Amino acid sequence: MIGADMLTGYVDLTTGAKVSKVASQQAAFETELARRLGE
């Protein structure tokens, strides 16, 4: 389990910027979608 956690942490460190960028784009998309559906 510790090994997997360390591996996940390493992946998070190496791809963190990309992941956070994609997550923010996904959040923006969902927000826009919800806004349009609410109109």
Q: Show the low-confidence residues of the chain (pLDDT under 70).
A: 1-20
Residue 11 near residue 3, CB atoms below 8 Å: no
CA dihedral for 13, 14, 17, 21, sign (positive or negative): negative
pTM: 0.47
**Residues making up the chain, counted from first to last:** 39
Could you give the angle at the alpha carbon of 3 between the alpha carbons of 21 and 18, nearest 5°? 10
Q: Tokens 């927000």 correspond to what residue?
A: 31
